[in-house]
Structure 1
Amino acid sequence: MTKSPRLAAVSVLTGALLSVSPMTPSQAGAARPAGGAAGPRASDAAPSDAAPGRMLPDGPTGHVRRAPLPDLDTGRPRPAPVPDLGTTGPAVHPMAASRTDRERLLRWWTPARMRRAHPLDTLIAPAAARRPVPGGRPAGTPASAPSTGAAWTSGGRVTQTTGRVFFTYSGRPASCSGNAVAGANQSTVITAGHCVRLDGAWHTDWVFVPGYHDGQAPYGKWTAARTLTTPQWEAHEDLDYDVGAATVDLLGGRTLTSVVGGQGIAFNQPRHRRMYAFGYPAQAPYDGSRLVYCSGRAKDDTKSHDVGLTCDMTAGSSGGPWFLGFDARTGAGTQNSLNSFKYDADPNEMFGPYFGAAVKALYDKAQNT
């Protein structure tokens, strides 16, 4: 396969190779102080799903070349690529500030409301353009075998570190997926850029629920102190850099990775390696109630410098982690991409951003913010 100039350029990115080893709960150290800005502004007893966050307008109709899962139609033309090595740093947005705000937000995200949350990607696309991605949930797939979309039943660390992300978009409860990674602050979640910011505005009422299962939060609901994204996503919503992060508040005086552990994360890695992708798809034929995975050898996207994997996951899986060196026995691996988008013409292939210098800068910013 002949690489485009943009694909060739990614192989010569400068910057140190960073590989952070997975963290177990027993390895956690000192806790980070919590902080942030306003939480929900609606009554705790609100009878509907009308969320207290800022109202965001839906995007206009029209087709784009590619989009966040499954078929985003926002009418925005594909922007010119932004260089991975720029002078602009990652964007940071403060979230829930006071203990009262955080407690109100945790009460607002009830099990029923989490079950009703719409996959973000179905809220973005006009109804006429929504097309379920073909796929299913093969039964009895061994964890070591290639999968295009099976329920994960082998347990391990991934069932604790991977979870659903809930937030308010356009006044409605919405969902994505995310993953807890090891780091100095012990409080970092990696997700897709469009799962923290979209249409020029940041999502509100943001919480991470690791180990989510059918409305249950076995390891608690973690409110975001800050959400972050790459400068390329903030400026142009460039899907080549569709990566977001959150630093979450303490819960019961403990940090996130002291409770659930943290997966490794690495940057500027070789391509075409075997990878496992995880997420919580919530559009048919899935329902968002359980963790699903795909696995196989990653490939290049010939239209960008992203990476691809054959996968049937649908809307709601956006932001879920892709792992290198994944051990199916322990559920531990090294995150090196995430679920981001599919092409209309190729719905059985999922793509994610290459974790290069821009994503490393985002991760570093999260550790020091």
Structure 2
Amino acid sequence: MIPRARHLAAAALSSALLMLPALTGTAHAAAWNAHSATASATASAAAPTSKVYAVPLARTLADVKRVANYWKPDRLKKSDSYTPATPGAAAPVSTSGGAAAPATPVATVRRSLAAQSVPPVPPRKGAAMTMGKVFFRIGDKEYWCSASSIAAKNRSVVATAAHCAYDSRQAKPADYWIFVPNPDANGETPDGIYVGASISLHEDWIGKADYDYDYAFVTVNRGFTWVAKNGGYVMQDVGRLQDNVGGLGIELNRKPGSYTARPFGYPAGAQPDGTRPFDGKTLLECPERSTRYTVAPGLDLQKGVELQPCDFSHGASGGPWVIGYDKNRKLGSLNGVNSLTWNRDARDRYDAVSSPYFDTTTGEVYRRAAAQATVPKVT
């Protein structure tokens, strides 16, 4: 056992427990000062490029219907029994659903063109309901994570953790990926089901599972609901995601410590002491707190952002960090996603959560997802 004085960092929300020695504030500051210096140099020099990878999912009507038919009401009713995503654990290679398409680089985007901020957008009617769960399959087993709808010009973008969309160990996307905003108990989908069309993410998640890039923006097809008919179910088109539930804005390049944020998610996994205080059925939030920097070299996390206190566990992966959250409108701006959780005091419960830093490169990934077209009709 490692002594408590070392303040162990606990593990990915997405994986089996990974124990890391916590780093001192001096180490944190040095890493962030180096990052800030690099960013300043970049701004004053010719803007470099970085690669955004495009990973196709369901790009045709036949693809959408194949995924939809997998997630019929009988399967969705069992959704609470599925496993919060654990891609750090061994998973079987998929033997069904067809061969996965490889990730391919898209045209590089100059950093000077990436969005710095996008305002939140309300739905066409009613209150915003931007947060929900994503469901997918790895091998022959179903998993889920948290996620949120993000304002975008194509009105069809979901933000989540990269480990909730792409398995870097197998170099392939998750199968049968869907987003369900505002899910009810027993698998009900009052605001529709949205089948993923393509994933946009950074090459360093694909290539080496670098937790500095544990975020993904998934372009989704038009939504649908299942309607009972003649003893079975038929799909009914409900339109685009943002029109129905609204979209969080996005904020980039905010210096940790200069703003506060509030994390959301659907935690369900065990705490360090083995207890399970959360069931994954209810959207929960941690207190709004000032952000601070954090690093974890063992996970290639060199520019992380941390919030404390927060006792989220498995299942909250991919849930949004929101700044400027308006409880009446249920809107604000995305500035991170739940990626890792920490047990800083080595006691019975997790006490902090961290996100990759949302910088200009994040904006490039988001812009790619926001520019993608989808199937014009899903029924």
Q: When the two structures are superposed, what TM-score results if normalisation uses the length of structure 2?
A: 0.66
- Aligned residue identity for 1:351: S
User: Match of 1:184, SS?
Assistant: coil
Give distance in 2, aligned partners of 1:207 and 1:299.
32
> 2:284 pairs with 284, 292, 304, which one?
292
Tell me the residue number matched to 2:217: 245
**Segment of structure 1 superposing worse, 5-14 or 93-102:** 5-14
Q: How does 1:217-256 map to 2 (within 5 A)?
A: 217-251=189-223, 252=237, 254-256=239-241
User: Match of 2:59, SS?
Assistant: coil
1:118 aligns with 2:116: no
User: CA 1:287–1:253 in 2, change beyond 3 Å: closer, same or farther?
Assistant: closer
Give distance in 1, aligned partners of 2:214 and 2:52.
12
1:361 aligns with 2:364: yes
1:194 aligns with 2:163: yes
User: Match of 1:277, SS?
Assistant: strand
**Segment of structure 1 superposing worse, 97-106 or 325-334:** 97-106
Q: CA deviation at 1:193?
A: 0.8
Tell me the residue number matched to 1:312: 311
Q: CA deviation at 1:4?
A: 4.1
Bigger strand share: 2
Q: CA deviation at 1:191?
A: 0.4
Q: How does 1:54-203 map to 2 (within 5 A)?
A: 87-109=49-71, 110-121=75-86, 124-125=88-89, 160-198=129-167, 199=169, 200-203=171-174
Unaligned stretches of 5+ in structure 2? 1-24, 92-125, 224-236, 270-275, 297-301, 373-379
On the 8 A contact 1:181/1:263 being kept in 2, the answer is yes
1:50-105 CA distance string (max 9 Å, x none): xxxxxxxxxxxxxxxxxxxxxxxxxxxxxxxxxxx864421111112332432332
Tell me the residue number matched to 1:340: 339
Q: CA deviation at 1:313?
A: 1.1
Give distance in 2, aligned partners of 1:86 and 1:116.
46
Tell me the residue number matched to 1:22: none
Give distance in 2, aligned partners of 1:229 and 1:240.
12
Q: CA deviation at 1:367?
A: 1.7
User: Match of 2:218, SS?
Assistant: strand
Give distance in 1, aligned partners of 2:182 and 2:48.
36
User: CA 1:243–1:86 in 2, change beyond 3 Å: closer, same or farther?
Assistant: farther
1:262-283 CA distance string (max 9 Å, x none): 1110110132222111011122
Q: CA deviation at 1:298?
A: 1.8
Tell me the residue number matched to 1:257: 242
Give distance in 1, aligned partners of 2:30 and 2:127.
38
User: CA 1:302–1:103 in 2, change beyond 3 Å: closer, same or farther?
Assistant: closer
1:277 aligns with 2:263: yes
Q: CA deviation at 1:334?
A: 0.6
Structure 1 runs (4+) greater than 6 angstroms displaced: none
Q: How does 1:27-66 map to 2 (within 5 A)?
A: none
Q: CA deviation at 1:246?
A: 0.6
User: Match of 1:311, SS?
Assistant: coil
Q: CA deviation at 1:349?
A: 1.2
On the 8 A contact 1:338/1:352 being kept in 2, the answer is yes
User: Match of 2:267, SS?
Assistant: coil
> 1:268 pairs with 253, 258, 283, which one?
253
Q: CA deviation at 1:9?
A: 3.3
Tell me the residue number matched to 2:112: none
> 1:211 pairs with 171, 182, 191, which one?
182
On the 8 A contact 1:196/1:245 being kept in 2, the answer is no
Q: CA deviation at 1:5?
A: 3.7
- Aligned residue identity for 2:83: H
Give distance in 2, aligned partners of 1:363 and 1:9.
25
Give distance in 1, aligned partners of 2:295 and 2:210.
16
Q: CA deviation at 1:117?
A: 1.8
Q: CA deviation at 1:126?
A: 6.9
Structure with bigger gyration radius: 2
Q: CA deviation at 1:157?
A: 5.1
Unaligned stretches of 5+ in structure 1? 17-84, 128-155
1:10 aligns with 2:35: yes
On the 8 A contact 2:200/2:366 being kept in 1, the answer is no
User: Match of 2:303, SS?
Assistant: coil
User: Match of 1:362, SS?
Assistant: helix
On the 8 A contact 1:196/1:228 being kept in 2, the answer is no
Q: CA deviation at 1:286?
A: 1.4
Tell me the residue number matched to 1:24: none
On the 8 A contact 1:4/1:302 being kept in 2, the answer is no
Give the total of aligned pairs: 271
- Aligned residue identity for 2:199: T
Tell me the residue number matched to 2:232: none
User: CA 1:157–1:358 in 2, change beyond 3 Å: closer, same or farther?
Assistant: farther
Q: When the two structures are superposed, what TM-score results if normalisation uses the length of structure 1?
A: 0.68
Q: CA deviation at 1:338?
A: 0.8
